[in-house]
Amino acid sequence: MTNSPKNTPANTSIRPTSTTASGSLSATGDKTPVDLIVSAPWIIPIVPRNAVYQDCSLVIHKGDIIDLLPEAEALRKYHTAEHTILEATVLMPGLVNAHGHAAMSLLRGYADDFPLQQWLNDYIWPAESQWVNGDFVADGTQLAVAEMISSGTTCYADMYFYPDQIAQVVRHSGIRAQIAFPVLEFPTAWARDASDYIHKGLQLYDDCKDDALIRIAFGPHAPYTVNDNTLERIATLSSELEAPVQIHLHETAQEVADALADKGSRPIARLNQIGLLSPATQCVHMTQITNEDIQLLADTDAQVIHCPQSNLKLASGLCPVQKLLDADVNVALGTDGAASNNSLDLFKELNMAALLAKGLGKATDLPAEQALYMATMGGAKALGMADRIGSLEAGKAADLIAINLADVSTTPLYNLHSQLVYTNVGHQVTHAWVNGVALLKDRELQTIDSVAVTARAKQWGKKISGD
């Protein structure tokens, strides 16, 4: 490893060794045919850490990265009919938005400036009761997915009603997703009670088990909306099916206080007693945690998903990210829904996460490189997908994005990681691929009709507002 020369970004510069993944490629003449080569001035692979490859190419075949090597070597070794050459651009893994409620994009700005329980009880739940149906979920999810792809997210986690509609949107758009079907004790438009939620969710699990881009998870809403018997059942089913569990946990001080008064234990301790804490458990928010809670997370290898902008907007509290990282707890990033964030741009989220960590601690906490890791490999690990996504390595899925850095807001360029984190570059994402398929090309969505999606969203806005 050597330091970057002058006038280049000051990250660790590495000349990658060709690491071709094994496969069924056969050479034609002196060159091996492949589906796609993408070349750029800079590549941030995420693994190895703090590395930047200069003037290199990613070689993609049958949806996977099969090689990463200097561009001149790639062109000598491989033949392709599609060679994408990007100027003033950095390639990196697609971002992983590890928590959200995509369809709630149709409620963006509907109820702002209220604390969580008032926001939920007085505004969101009544609106959902009146308006949520299959069409609402399909249209809202398309709107959200279009926004996420356009700002660099190639994999996201969703938790909402009518998850079968979510799955259809995911398939059509080509984005990768974990879909957590909700579980509650009370009726909604989608299900009658906890057993009905689980029954419908298990049917979705069966329907999606052969889908390469979809993973189904259990989504018990929170310990205060799901009883012990249901949580125990979910723990058993999750273990049997090797399916993840995503749950809102320790989101507010009131949640913890109510749990202590009602159950005599903190929510995370209750989940552990039930057997629901494991590496497959994704604990969302975690703003109210003690050193003992952190140790329990570390002991069980449970995942934490940090949603800083939503937590700040709802005044829910602040997740002590650096303490978690220091305890070797994996932390991922999520936007939450647009109704409590207003933006699904994960670059904005990782910017906020980095700044907030410094505000809570010291200037060296959550540096730019760590923030990017959290939004890529951290998310991949949290969702149980680290063997396929989160880094640009031979053998992994070709889920990647390109960010153009020629804009005045990203000039001059000294440190790539810093520039990506502290200048909010979501609007500068030019390309996105999932499994080697282009979802965004030159800022144009390839699988979603943004005009039609926006028109439907406007219609919903008029209907909900009564205009």
pLDDT at 7 exceeding the cut of 60: no
pLDDT of the residue at 17? 53
- % the chain with pLDDT above 90: 90
What are 133-176's pLDDT values in tens digits?
Answer: 999 999 999 999 999 999 999 999 999 999 999 999 999 999 99
What phi and psi values does residue 95 have, to the nearest 5 degrees? -75, 150
Mean pLDDT value of segment 185-201: 97
pLDDT at 15 exceeding the cut of 60: no
What are 416-445's pLDDT values in tens digits?
Answer: 999 999 998 999 999 999 999 999 999 999
pLDDT of the residue at 291? 97
pLDDT at 4 exceeding the cut of 50: no
**With bands split at pLDDT 50, 70 and 90, how would you rate the model's confidence at 25?**
low
- Average of per-residue pLDDT values in the chain: 94
Buried b (16+ CB within 10 A) or exposed e, 387-401: ebbbbbebebbbbbb
Delimit the domains of the chain by residue range.
2-93+390-447, 95-382
**With bands split at pLDDT 50, 70 and 90, how would you rate the model's confidence at 21?**
low
Pick the CATH number of 95-382 from 1.10.3720.10, 3.20.20.140, 3.40.30.10, 3.40.50.720: 3.20.20.140
Quick check: helix, strand or coil at residue 389? coil
User: How large is the angle between the packed helices 163-173 and 194-208, nearest 10 degrees?
Assistant: 20
Q: Which helix H or strand E contains 325, and what residues bound it?
A: helix 321-326
Q: Distance (Å, rounded) from C-alpha 292 to C-alpha 102?
A: 33
Is the separation of the CB atoms in 82 and 394 below 8 Å? no
The CATH number given to 2-93+390-447 is 2.30.40.10
CA–CA distance from 123 to each of 113, 127, 130, 136, 315 (Å)? Answer: 11, 6, 11, 17, 16
**With bands split at pLDDT 50, 70 and 90, how would you rate the model's confidence at 22?**
very low
pLDDT at 63 exceeding the cut of 50: yes
Q: Distance (Å, rounded) from C-alpha 81 to C-alpha 293?
A: 54
Query: Global pTM?
Result: 0.94
**With bands split at pLDDT 50, 70 and 90, how would you rate the model's confidence at 242?**
very high
pLDDT of the residue at 366? 97
CA 403 remoteness from chain centre: 18
- Token pair 């928590």: residue: 99
**With bands split at pLDDT 50, 70 and 90, how would you rate the model's confidence at 9?**
low
CATH fold match for the domains 2-93+390-447 and 95-382: no
pLDDT at 2 exceeding the cut of 60: no
pLDDT at 3 exceeding the cut of 70: no
Q: Distance (Å, rounded) from C-alpha 140 to C-alpha 146?
A: 10
pLDDT at 274 exceeding the cut of 80: yes
